Amino acid sequence: MNLRDLEYAVCLAAEGQFRRAATRCRVSQPTLSAQIAKLEDELGVQLFERGARVASPTVNGRAIIRQAQIVLDEVERLKAMARAGQDPLQGPFRLGVIPTAGPYLLPRLLPVLREHWPQLRLLLREEQTTALTERLRAGSLDAAILSLPLDGDDLRWERLLAEPILVALPRGHRLAAERRIAPRALSREPIVLLEEGHCLREQSLSICAAAGLSNRRDDDVQAAGLETMRQMVMAGIGVALVPEMAALAPFGTDELAVYRRFAPPEPERELVLAWRRSFPRGDALQDLARGLRGELTARAP
């Protein structure tokens, strides 16, 4: 057994396909397949179920692959210790971000990273929360920008930004004249929700449930993304709940929608930088998140 075999297994678990895993590991598919088979033979357990196009970890395989990721993280920690005195935040940094935050937060975040961490080479991936947390746990991401709450005690996180959730209304809507909107005022309104898998959808439903509107899902319509949802509001299809960043310039400058805050207590979402507890540069990521939070607060529009 060697570390490279463990890397192959972790990569295959993350990619779910021998061809993609081999490409990522920069080896031929037969080489990857042979090394995985050798590792299974040495451990005496089948790690993967092989299908025509996919490879998925077995029950025993999942536990072994989680441990393999810990071993690889600890090896990286040894390397980091050997590089003591060097900047811990330099080189490739694989960052995931949820779609309802990426387009609005990254234009504010990227200049801060370039200014204060110029040696950090950012590799971005935008996906829904479940996919990002799976990649985070599998080791194919170093960190991810997610919205609370997060499940599992195997992840650490540091707060980046808390922002209120606003109501998006078609211009001329009866509630547009209100300065603050009580959640109960939405009881007769069709609400445009994001599709399943978006954390903002669950947050919107939680706000509705807290206001006693939990039995009204049959009246709701769905959108694939936040910008599609905004277009549906402008077309008069319904109202929507959106994070404040999506209502700020240049995004919220359309003439066919208006944005209003909720009456106190205002609902909000909390964005965090999350990473694995076993990640060898966890302390550096905590410092990074705190630095970003301070800069984002100072540069708030």
How does residue 217 score in pLDDT terms, banded at 50, 70 and 90?
low
Indicate the residue among 64, 82, 100 that finishes a domain.
82
Question: Is 136 in the same domain as 72?
Answer: no
Q: Read off the DSSP letter of residue 38.
A: H
The secondary structure of 204-219, three-state, reads HHHHHHHCCCCCCHHH
Q: What is the pLDDT of residues 233-270, one digit of tens each?
A: 999 998 999 999 888 878 777 778 899 999 998 999 99
**Residue 59: Cβ within 10 Å count:** 9
pLDDT at residue 133, as a whole number: 93
Same domain, 105 and 73: no
Give the integer Cα–Cα distance in Å for 196 and 216.
16
| 77 pLDDT more than 80 | no
Location of structure tokens 């990426």: 102
Shared domain check, 68 and 24: yes
Quick check: 16 pLDDT over 70?
yes
Query: Mean per-residue pLDDT for 76-102?
Result: 76
State whether 8 and 49 are in the same domain: yes
Mean pLDDT of 124-147: 92
Position 214 confidence tier, pLDDT thresholds 50, 70, 90:
low
Cα–Cα distance for residue pair 6/254, rounded to 1 Å: 51
258 and 276 within one domain: no
> Looking at residues 202-213, what average pLDDT do you find?
80
Q: What is the pLDDT of residue 300?
A: 60
Same domain, 145 and 284: yes
Question: Do 156 and 276 share a domain, yes or no?
Answer: yes
Q: Rounded to whole angstroms, how far apart are CA atoms 189 and 222?
A: 14
Which spans in the chain are helix H? 3-15, 18-25, 29-43, 59-82, 102-116, 129-138, 199-210, 226-234, 282-298
Q: What is the pLDDT of residue 82?
A: 66
Domain total of the chain: 3
Residue 298: CB atoms within 10 Å: 8
Domain boundaries, position 170 = 162-268
Residues 237 and 107 in one domain: no
Report pLDDT for 195.
87
Residue 202 has pLDDT above 90, yes or no: no
Count of other CB atoms within 10 angstroms of residue 71: 14
Q: Percent of the chain scored above 90 by pLDDT? A: 47
Instruction: Report the CATH number at residue 208.
Output: 3.40.190.10
The pLDDT confidence band at residue 299, using thresholds 50, 70 and 90, is: low
Same domain, 151 and 210: no
- The pLDDT score that the predictor gives to residue 81 is 66
pLDDT number for residue 45:
94
Q: Are residues 274 and 264 in the same domain?
A: no
In which band, very low, low, confident or very high, does the pLDDT at 213 lie, cut at 50, 70 and 90?
Answer: low
The neighbouring-strand residues paired with 126 are: 97
Q: Does 212 or 7 have the greater pLDDT score? A: 7
For residues 280 and 147, membership in a common domain is answered with: yes
Q: pLDDT tens across 263-288, in order? A: 998 999 999 999 998 887 788 888 88
CATH code of 34's domain: 1.10.10.10
Q: Does 166 lie in the same domain as 125?
A: no
What is the pLDDT at residue 12? 94
- Report the relative pairing of strands 191-194 and 239-243 from DSSP bridges: parallel
Note the pLDDT of residue 88: 54
